A and B are shown apart, each in its own frame.
Chain A
Amino acid sequence: MRFTRIAAAAASTMLLAACGVLPDGPSPMPSDWVPTPTVSPAARADAISPDGFSRAQRMTLRVRNIGCGFIATGTGFAYDDSTLITNRHVIEDSRSIEVSTYDGTNLTATAVSSTTVADIAIIRTEESVLRSFAALAQEDPEEGSVITVIGYPGGGELTTVTGVVLGSTADPLDSAVGKVLVTSAEVEPGSSGSPVLNESGAVVGVVYAKTDDGNSLIIPVSTLRTLLAETSLLVPEALSCDAPSQTTNGTSIP
């Protein structure tokens, strides 16, 4: 009898336990089997170029210095919708400054200012037509960093070259206070004022000269930031052949 009771209790327990492990029926059928996309094209609209040119290409400008009896070209880049940054020696002895974009649009400069602290000049344009601007890096590039230079070497087509930062040195042209950086990027006359970009696309310097061994010299972004913060260091330039002009030493590359 005892065995029967135990068996009955065990069977009842097993039966109840079995009820717990019985399979359920299917849950309701999903109406949509396609997952929702996590990234939509609209969210990345600002990252898409309107014409196939990169932001760096669109912000880089060709500077034409119509001087007193000469024509010189250089490079600059947009800092905001009406402000350009280039080299001081690019706009020297100028009677008129003209700027053209990557697609051939011409802009006329209304004011030019430069500084003796570094080979840097600021150009203001008449119209606020610039749409792509430079983002300045927070820190100077370290030795060995990969950099990209976009400019108009020889006054020719928009060209992109790459190199690495080789180190820092005192300015051999004495046109800048403090250290400048040496890079392996190849530049030519006409590349002066070209933006130097890091791998994130931020501006880390401005090309202003080349050395005899084919390297390029750049003004670091820390100096550029200092100049932009201290506007009193920038002196307006008179666009006239009669006005005395600042000069720089020989090997800079207009």
Chain B
Amino acid sequence: MARKKDTRDEPAVTPAESLEGSESAPRRSRRASRGSRESRRARIVRERAQTQEQPIVEEAPEATASAASPGEDASQTSTRHDDAPTTSQAGAAEPTEAELEEQERLDPTTERRRWILLTAFLGVTVLSLIGVSLYLSDVVSQWELRTEELTEVNYDLGAQLADAQDTIEAQTTRIDVLTTQLNTAKDRITALANETANYDDDRAYTAQQIEQLEGLAATGAAVANALTRCIDGEEQLVTYLEDPENYEEEEILAFQESVEELCTAARDSNSEFQQLLNG
């Protein structure tokens, strides 16, 4: 019974709380505001549920009481009859879920709160957009500055590239010329080295020829000397033979033999020399 009385008293308090809640909503936290709104609907739903459950809850004591003391039945029944109309009137006055939502929607406090939230949200959004705009503006400025710097660097690099290309072109032309000159120099070096080598071959060959000629000259000189000695011996022999009375015949014959041997050897040497000269 006490619960039923509380239930009945609560609607009288609720508007005051709602009004107070709506007036102090900007100062109160969102959690508190949410708690207030939730409790309102929850209270109504809880109230209806308690109303439906009440007969079931109170039947058991009644049955127990009638079984225990039949004399008290009339007074208790009358008490129940007093309560029953009260309960059925409350159930008939209770709004449905849709009605509650409609009530809530049309409630000026709720409407005001919604506008406040919407305004706050829009304010935050606008502030955020302003912040983002300022940030983007700064970023754009930085990129514009960078673009100018890059353009300047680009022109500088382009100038350097043009200079480098000119240099490369000039150096390429110079390299071509130098390559041609180098090839010419290499050919000339190779030719000169070949000439030097051939000259050294000729020099070595000439040295061999000179050496050979020197040998021939020495041989010729020896042959000439032998022939001279032969001639001298023959002249001496003629002298001896012109005056034979002054010399022993045996000595003249011996001298003649030696001269003939000398001349024979000289002639043989001369023949060999001639053959050597002829090849």
Q: A residues bordering B, Cβ < 8 Å?
A: 1, 4, 7-8, 11, 15, 18-19, 22-26, 29, 33, 51-53, 62, 64, 66, 69-71, 73, 98, 100-104, 106, 152, 155-158
Contacts and interface: CB of A to CB of B under 8 A. Distances in A.
Nearest to A12: B124
B121 interface: yes
17 contacts: A4-B114, A8-B121, A19-B132, A23-B139, A25-B139, A26-B146, A29-B146, A33-B157, A51-B186, A52-B185, A53-B186, A64-B201, A71-B201, A71-B204, A100-B200, A104-B189, A106-B200
A104 B193 contact: yes
Interface in B198-220: 198, 200-201, 204-205, 208, 212
Interface string B165-201: 0000000000000000011011001111110111011
Contacts of A102: 189-190, 193
B143 A26 contact: yes
B236 interface: no
B135 interface: yes
Q: Is the interface of A mostly helix, strand, loop or mixed?
A: loop
A26 B143 CA distance: 6
Contacts of B136: 22-23
A243 B212 CA distance: 20
Given A73-B201, A157-B190, A100 B149 contact: no
Given A71-B205, A104-B193, A1 B114 contact: yes
Contacts of A52: 182-183, 185-186
Contacts of A66: 204, 208
Chain B's interface size range is 35 or more
A64 B199 CA distance: 12
Contacts of A4: 114, 117-118, 121
A158 B132 contact: no
Contacts of B191: 157
A100 B142 contact: no
B37 interface: yes
B135 A22 contact: yes
Nearest to A106: B200
A29 B151 CA distance: 12
Contact of B193 (A22, A29, A71, A101): A101
A1 B116 CA distance: 12
Given A29-B146, A33-B153, A52-B183, A100 B196 contact: yes
A34 B255 CA distance: 109
